[in-house]
Chain A
Amino acid sequence: KDGLRSQVSAALKEGRVTPTELCQRCLALIRSTKFLNAYITVAEETALKQAEESEERYKRGQALGILDGIPIAVKDNFNTAGIETTCASNMLKGYISPYNATVVQKLLDQGAVLLGKTNLDEFAMGSGSTDGIFGPVRNPWSYSQQYKEKSVPKSHSEDKESNWVITGGSSGGSAAAVSSFTCFAALGSDTGGSTRNPAAHCGVVGLKPTYGLISRHGLIPLVNSMDVPGILTRCVDDAAVLLGSLAGHDPKDSTTIQDDFKPFELPNLTDVSKLSIGIPKEYHAPGLSSEILALWSKAADLFKNAGAKVVEVSLPHTRYSIVCYHVLCTAEVASNMARFDGLEYGHRSDMKDSTESMYAATRREGFNDVVRGRILSGNYFLLKQNYEKYFVKAQKVRRLIANDFVKVFRSGVDILLTPTTLSDAAPYTEFIQEDNRTRSAQDDILTQAANMAGLPAINVPTALSERGLPVGLQFIGRSFQEKQLLTVAKWFEKQVQFPVIQLEEVKRHDNDVFQHQKSASIS
């Protein structure tokens, strides 16, 4: 399966479809799937202009590359010049970025068409994409034939409106946008699992690259030592294409490594006998659904039966990663959110009595409870009397967590296979019954450690649950070994043949350029 490279890009080159047609179709689909609330801003005019420019290039036979003319969406915590960047917060409502984030610039330089900015939890804090000022994002699978067939309405009055499930988060808008075919790829961000979690719930590929591989310049920071831009696509090959256009040293981000990055095409792996897959036993976490446990086991068997070496391994400090994250994250957040004071950009309170009272009022008005809560907790852990006890302690535990992975990879394991989420997507009404921090602590458990250690990790959609919703599995690789990670992920993707979402709205806009999967599934 090779979406962008062999299907869409080929179609554009051969003139079977034009960039403007592609753009129009995506914009129309965005309009008809508005109820998903995946987009905060749709940049219709600029997108069409970019599409027209792309079309000119194709006419002259001067396409910039595979991404030329390809509609993409970007999470609303990336700066986009001339386009509002809100982070789904009142603090940045109306903020028009004066510059493009490096990753956005790279995509535009390759001719990609920027359709718009996607919805998220406020300042990317959350695991549901439910806590932003523009409201929650709805998982497109809520409206799929597959989900409807499996859901039994409890009463006559209960309609599909109350039954919808969350996308997961915090890059829920991006995941929903890719899942519902409104774009071919989207950028998310990943600090504790924010790209992989919604990818799993929305049935798309979600890649978290190695920390230091892709520039964070222009990505409004949450946790500087863990944030990475994330890539969401409908197949692993597409993720490799995006990675190829985004990775590499950026002088504007001194945390990007200086090594040369060579974009790669993924080989079609047929022989996995030289592969060693590690199954970390601690990822059999409390609360893991029996369904996902079974799927994980089935996947391990798949590798075993194909000749790979599959071994159980141990990452003993896994259970501390959430607590460690909690302290480090809130501490870095407290620092990063200090820039929002109303003076240079963003919301500014009318309070005029003093600088400090203006700052306090601005932040009181601009941030939601979740953000304010994290700032206060972070400041607590950074107090002189607490610094050693909490912040430095957490940094030490971080090293232990990172070392666990080093030991396992050194023992000969190439790739780790784990679940991505504890269960399939929860109904919104159920999800909001617990507060944001509790939910994040529960949901991040399987994804967070990869951020602690800075390792690359990818969610691959695997099968549908009994409720007809997507379930994904996660592969974690060695630092900067994305090629190996994606090669294995691609092999797995081919084996499981995850089904295409059956959505009314997409069928109406149907065109064989959008459909490129067979309908067979693993379960």
Chain B
Amino acid sequence: QKVSVEVLEHLEHLALVDFRDAEGVERLQKAIQFADQLHGVNTEGVEPMDSVLEDRWCLYLREDDVTEGNCTKELLENAREKVEEYFVAPPGNIPLPKLEERETFLQGS
């Protein structure tokens, strides 16, 4: 079954990446179809595997000691917009324009 426009729009919102054209949507359809082959595998009683190192318990927590830092200048170097020691962002808490108002391929769907 095809992915609904609601879900497509939801994905664009979550990913903050757009389906540029019909090809983009088709690409997703094919990806889902491909992934559906997983359902042919019997995984009864099988635990999901997060890490191949699960037996080694190597994901440890270390002491909360400061070992490096004080590199504000370096960290700010690659940012395009900054003021003093701040990264500057456009105003937040403004939702992405609705489907009808946005420049997206989905508008035509």
B87 and A211 contact, CB distance less than 8 A: no
Q: A358-B90, A380-B28, A392-B48 are in contact. Are A367 and B17 (CB under 8 A)?
A: yes
**In whole Å, how far is A464's beta carbon from the nearest beta carbon of chain B?**
34
In the complex, residue of chain A having the shortest beta-carbon distance to the beta carbon of B10: A383
Alpha-carbon separation in the docked complex, A96 to B75 (Å): 11
Q: Does B11 contact A (CB under 8 A)?
A: yes
User: Within the complex, which residue of B12, B20, B75 is in contact with A98, where a contact is CB–CB below 8 Å?
Assistant: B75
B78 and A345 contact, CB distance less than 8 A: yes
**In whole Å, how far is A160's beta carbon from the nearest beta carbon of chain B?**
33
A323 and B37 contact, CB distance less than 8 A: yes
User: Within the complex, which residue of A258, A372, A389, A437 is in contact with B20, where a contact is CB–CB below 8 Å?
Assistant: A372
A211 and B53 contact, CB distance less than 8 A: yes
B75 and A397 contact, CB distance less than 8 A: no
B60: A residues at CB distance < 8 A: 254, 258
A320 and B28 contact, CB distance less than 8 A: no
Q: Does B95 contact A (CB under 8 A)?
A: yes
Q: Does B66 contact A (CB under 8 A)?
A: no
Q: A254-B60, A327-B35, A390-B38 are in contact. Are A397 and B43 (CB under 8 A)?
A: yes
A257 and B56 contact, CB distance less than 8 A: yes
A326: B residues at CB distance < 8 A: 31, 34-35
Alpha-carbon separation in the docked complex, A396 to B43 (Å): 6
Q: Interface readout for B1-35 with A: 1 if CB under 8 Å, 0 if not?
A: 00100010011101111111001100110111011
Alpha-carbon separation in the docked complex, A131 to B38 (Å): 28
In the complex, residue of chain B having the shortest beta-carbon distance to the beta carbon of A391: B48
**In whole Å, how far is A60's beta carbon from the nearest beta carbon of chain B?**
32
In the complex, residue of chain A having the shortest beta-carbon distance to the beta carbon of B87: A343
B59: A residues at CB distance < 8 A: 254-255
B24: A residues at CB distance < 8 A: 369, 372-373, 376
A393: B residues at CB distance < 8 A: 38-39, 41, 43
In the complex, residue of chain B having the shortest beta-carbon distance to the beta carbon of A381: B35
Q: Does B83 contact A (CB under 8 A)?
A: no
B84: A residues at CB distance < 8 A: none
Q: In this complex, which of B28, B52, B71, B77 has the most chain A Cβ atoms within 10 angstroms of its Cβ?
A: B52
User: Within the complex, which residue of A348, A380, A435 is in contact with B11, where a contact is CB–CB below 8 Å?
Assistant: A380
Which segment of A28-36, A67-75, A161-169, A349-357 sits at the interface? A349-357
When A and B form their complex, what is the total count of cross-chain residue pairs whose Cβ atoms lie within 8 Å?
185
Q: A376-B28, A390-B35, A437-B27 are in contact. Are A98 and B78 (CB under 8 A)?
A: yes
B48: A residues at CB distance < 8 A: 392, 395-396, 398-399
A390: B residues at CB distance < 8 A: 35, 38
B46: A residues at CB distance < 8 A: 396, 399-400
Q: Does B51 contact A (CB under 8 A)?
A: yes
Q: A343-B89, A356-B95 are in contact. Are A397 and B16 (CB under 8 A)?
A: no
B30: A residues at CB distance < 8 A: 437
Q: Does A246 contact B (CB under 8 A)?
A: no
User: Within the complex, which residue of A323, A363, A376, A396 is in contact with B34, where a contact is CB–CB below 8 Å?
Assistant: A323
B32: A residues at CB distance < 8 A: 377, 380
A354 and B94 contact, CB distance less than 8 A: yes
Q: Does B85 contact A (CB under 8 A)?
A: no
Alpha-carbon separation in the docked complex, A255 to B53 (Å): 8
A441 and B34 contact, CB distance less than 8 A: yes
In the complex, residue of chain B having the shortest beta-carbon distance to the beta carbon of A436: B27
Alpha-carbon separation in the docked complex, A376 to B108 (Å): 19
A220: B residues at CB distance < 8 A: none
Q: A320-B41, A396-B43 are in contact. Are A251 and B49 (CB under 8 A)?
A: no
User: Within the complex, which residue of B7, B17, B19, B52 is in contact with A211, where a contact is CB–CB below 8 Å?
Assistant: B52
Alpha-carbon separation in the docked complex, A372 to B19 (Å): 8
A344 and B28 contact, CB distance less than 8 A: no
Q: Does A132 contact B (CB under 8 A)?
A: no
A380: B residues at CB distance < 8 A: 3, 7, 11, 28, 31-32
Q: A98-B71, A212-B56, A255-B58 are in contact. Are A327 and B80 (CB under 8 A)?
A: no
Q: In this complex, which of B7, B27, B28 has the most chain A Cβ atoms within 10 angstroms of its Cβ?
A: B27
A211: B residues at CB distance < 8 A: 52-53
Alpha-carbon separation in the docked complex, A97 to B60 (Å): 28
**In whole Å, how far is B102's beta carbon from the nearest beta carbon of chain A?**
9
**In whole Å, how far is B52's beta carbon from the nearest beta carbon of chain A?**
3
Q: A348-B81, A356-B94 are in contact. Are A376 and B74 (CB under 8 A)?
A: no
B94: A residues at CB distance < 8 A: 353-357
Besides A255-B51, A479-B52, 17 new A-B residue pairs in contact (Cβ under 8 A), listed by A number:
A98-B77, A225-B51, A254-B60, A326-B31, A343-B87, A344-B79, A344-B87, A354-B91, A377-B27, A379-B14, A380-B7, A380-B11, A381-B35, A394-B35, A395-B50, A402-B49, A437-B31
Q: Which residues of B contact A (CB under 8 A)?
A: 3, 7, 10-12, 14-20, 23-24, 27-28, 30-32, 34-35, 37-39, 41, 43, 46-53, 56, 58-60, 62, 71, 74-75, 77-81, 87, 89-92, 94-97
Q: List 17 A-B contacts (CB under 8 A).
A: A212-B52, A254-B58, A255-B51, A258-B60, A343-B79, A344-B79, A354-B92, A356-B92, A357-B90, A360-B12, A373-B31, A393-B43, A396-B49, A397-B43, A398-B49, A454-B52, A479-B52
The 8 residue pairs across chains A and B that have the minimum distance between CB atoms: A454-B52, A395-B48, A354-B94, A345-B78, A396-B43, A399-B49, A98-B74, A377-B31
